A and B are shown apart, each in its own frame.
Chain A
């Protein structure tokens, strides 16, 4: 009986540990993700950086242009996040007549900045 109780208690403990681990790990990664998204947003809105609002209606961007399409439902439009990154890196690869700035190949943004930007744009 005592032994049984003990094993129950230890099982409960293990379960509690597992549960907290399950809860804690996603919370941590989500927090990190939000940080990247915030950094990405700052880059997207920065006039000397992404300056995306000049051409795209997006998020809470004020007075957006319409030269490019509205940035909404991005996960549906780019199920493959790498393709979104490739589009930002060099839009003329997919469409030579694209009016979009080639942020990667022309070094308008750094690799790291583009990673943050992609995290943000993909969240829209």
Chain B
């Protein structure tokens, strides 16, 4: 189902609203090309607004969202997360021992883990902490992982996304390129790539939904989604997106989604973290 003809064309010379991404471009050039494309479409939206996702460009939706944010639906999850953070494991240790820099650490993820040779995300690091201490790992899409993630996100508010791809391990750039390739690859029976909706057609409507820009996509997770009736992870959203286009959802925290998160997060470099978020 993957349309390689289109992929080749897009990755080699993606036309981004008149701006061109070349295959040789580095992450910063990629980010700038995305930003230029959105600025061309939405000249009056200031950069710092992009952390608000679709509400940066959807006036009507924004009013409803601001009303929701008056009494944030994710608050109880933050409280539950604080309890998890404080509660000792069976061996007497706690999350604090794994993350001595404190709970405000979301801006440090994802990052390249040279030792393990993989993109390390925050949910993965949390589970490695649990397993190292003889605890059962948490599920990656639904449930309590969202509590601890909500607390960490809240404590990380105001930190700035600054994903740096290390130069001393070529596998890091490969992971970025894999994520970028995923983003531009059409998939599923409906033949959409991430770029189809979130780059080429940002601001357009499917039914009443306005398609959001990818710059800012990663700043506010986990998200309380009214459709879910609870808080869910970024990778749960990836799966939902893949299901919508009738593609097989991939494994949450599997290599492909982690690499996608690596690429996507790089697009938000310079933007403040503002999680947890609320969406309809």
Contacts and interface: CB of A to CB of B under 8 A. Distances in A.
A67 B191 CA distance: 15
B5 A65 contact: no
Nearest to A101: B190
Interface in B171-224: 189-192, 196-197, 200-201, 204-209, 211
A65 B207 contact: yes
B203 to A, nearest CB: 10
Interface centre among A53, A54, A99, A102 (most CB of B within 10 A): A99
Given A102-B191, A108-B189, A97 B9 contact: yes
Interface string A104-116: 0011100000000
A106 to B, nearest CB: 5
Contacts of A97: 6, 9-10, 15, 200
A66 B208 CA distance: 9
A70 interface: no
> What 4 A-B pairs have minimum CB-CB distances, sorted nearest first?
A65-B206, A65-B205, A67-B204, A101-B190
Given A54-B207, A65-B206, A97-B9, 9 more contacts: A53-B207, A65-B205, A65-B209, A67-B211, A97-B6, A99-B197, A101-B191, A106-B190, A108-B189
26 contacts: A53-B207, A54-B206, A54-B207, A55-B206, A63-B208, A64-B207, A65-B204, A65-B205, A65-B207, A66-B204, A67-B201, A67-B205, A92-B3, A92-B5, A92-B6, A96-B6, A96-B9, A97-B9, A97-B200, A99-B192, A99-B200, A101-B189, A102-B191, A106-B189, A108-B189, A108-B190
Interface of A: 53-55, 63-67, 92, 96-97, 99, 101-102, 106-108
